[in-house]
Structure 1
């Protein structure tokens, strides 16, 4: 049985949420998508996730929500992390951290999709070895899911490429997030795993990684704390569509998907964002 999995890049603030509200269900229908995975660690005010936004993303059509280095930026998401099966933070964090490193979703066709989230260590805060964590959790997921997807949330492209080859043949897809810049290296690796180094960002692209350009330039030029407000122009959704065979567990195709919106958001925030992350926070 073939399943279509849509993997959506980092959702940044209200503009990123708005394009999902407006466009995601039509993308699901157009491409016969069976499972939607979305990184939402920047969905609330540009950093973190709130329970209200978590609920809305599910209503928009997202099935599995992933988080990265900003997983715990909003404290009121902790209870959801501990109780929900469809949200995951990086598995190679401390064993005592809130939440889980895997998420599960049973598709309407029957097969279960399991997602493992890992975080890189180059140019990032300390974490356990992502490659050892991959070995541990893939073995466990093989008992729970017919299709396994790995998200590598990392800064360095070398770490992501290495992870792709490390899990090749053991998972259906390995996709990268975190840099907000889509790469053009989508491929199926020699043993059958679909791979891309970075899916990109879902948010305002007339920006620096989703933030207002002038504020980021001011921070770089002055080296002073500067508010990084959410930008609103040229909103796009970046994603990859992967077709995976649930019997072989391997990918048959991977395709980049980009959806643009003709409207411009008048504000980067609303009441669901909570307290915005004001200073120098990507």
Structure 2
């Protein structure tokens, strides 16, 4: 096992523009920063809702090792096939135990054994899920003696629930990284018991949008209250991620990485 290790986590990848931003930015970032392990949230990967085999494989080719998700992961039927064929994609662990998919995944890469799991918040989300706080403890107890690092993506609506989860798992897991709201926060830090934390990593997709959707559509919905089909925005892409550096299995630093105006050519 090496003493120094770097992990990159990419925030919610939104549709085609987000995928292209990843393909443009990630390979060079891995090389420049000497990243050892990369994971990303992909609940919005295919057209803004769900994931398909084709879109997931493109992200694997770009250098992502593991994929977390959230409440939109069930929007496309491909997900059941991906689970059955053991693609490295997770559902939130606090869905009922008989729901398809895996609660956590383990990887061995560049001399370290890593466990990744995903939790879904309950505040303001209408999903029937078990308590994420208790489930986080259960996952920790299952993997703590068999891995070097434990990484958690907490997909939740409110900052308070995400911050509470960070403190709840501090000293147990090695990172609690927030997703879902698509807006990056500037509170990255190492908590008291050496857990790397950020409330929301932010979205990878169109910056000139409302959380990835064409802004005109969302503005009209707020003005009228009427439903309208979402369409992905395609202007001014940005790439949002965090890089965590570990030293002797302890988080040494967490830093935001953001690149705006990623040029699209496909």
User: Is TM (by shorter chain) over 0.5?
Assistant: yes
1:93 is paired with a residue of what secondary structure?
Answer: coil
Counterpart Cα distance in 2 of 1:96 and 1:17: 31
Report the equivalent of 1:112: 113
Where do residues 47-86 of structure 1 align in structure 2 (5 Å cutoff)? 47-84=49-86, 86=88
The answer to which of 138-147 and 251-260 deviates more is: 138-147
* C-alpha contact 2:156 2:179 (8 A) present in aligned 1: yes
Report the equivalent of 1:216: 218
Q: In the comparison of the two structures, how many residue pairs are matched?
A: 263
2:75 is paired with a residue of what secondary structure?
Answer: coil
Deviations 1:185-212 (A, max 9, x none): 0000001001000000000010000000
Report the equivalent of 1:278: none
CA pair 10-16 structure 1, distance change in 2 beyond 3 A: same
C-alpha displacement at 1:261, in angstroms? 3.6
Counterpart Cα distance in 2 of 1:18 and 1:264: 7
* C-alpha contact 1:118 1:130 (8 A) present in aligned 2: yes
* C-alpha contact 2:238 2:262 (8 A) present in aligned 1: no
* Structure 1 gaps, min length 5: 267-282
Report the equivalent of 2:139: 137
C-alpha displacement at 1:141, in angstroms? 1.7
Deviations 1:118-156 (A, max 9, x none): 000000123100011011001112133211101110001
Counterpart Cα distance in 2 of 1:84 and 1:31: 29
Report the equivalent of 1:272: none
* C-alpha contact 2:162 2:178 (8 A) present in aligned 1: yes
Where do residues 131-170 of structure 1 align in structure 2 (5 Å cutoff)? 131-170=133-172
* C-alpha contact 1:64 1:104 (8 A) present in aligned 2: no
CA pair 57-118 structure 1, distance change in 2 beyond 3 A: same
4+ residue runs over 4 A deviation: none
The answer to which of 41-50 and 136-145 deviates more is: 136-145
Report the equivalent of 2:174: 172
* Structure 2 gaps, min length 5: none
* C-alpha contact 1:15 1:265 (8 A) present in aligned 2: no
* C-alpha contact 2:176 2:197 (8 A) present in aligned 1: yes
Counterpart Cα distance in 2 of 1:228 and 1:243: 37
Deviations 1:6-31 (A, max 9, x none): 01000000000001111110000111
Counterpart Cα distance in 2 of 1:48 and 1:186: 27
2:255 is paired with a residue of what secondary structure?
Answer: strand
Deviations 1:91-110 (A, max 9, x none): 00011111012122211x21
Compute the RMSD of aligned alpha carbons. Answer: 1.3
* C-alpha contact 2:91 2:103 (8 A) present in aligned 1: yes
- Normalising by structure 2, we get a TM-score of 0.95
Counterpart Cα distance in 2 of 1:35 and 1:58: 12
Counterpart Cα distance in 2 of 1:265 and 1:25: 17
- Normalising by structure 1, we get a TM-score of 0.90
CA pair 262-5 structure 1, distance change in 2 beyond 3 A: closer
Report the equivalent of 2:104: 102
C-alpha displacement at 1:250, in angstroms? 2.3
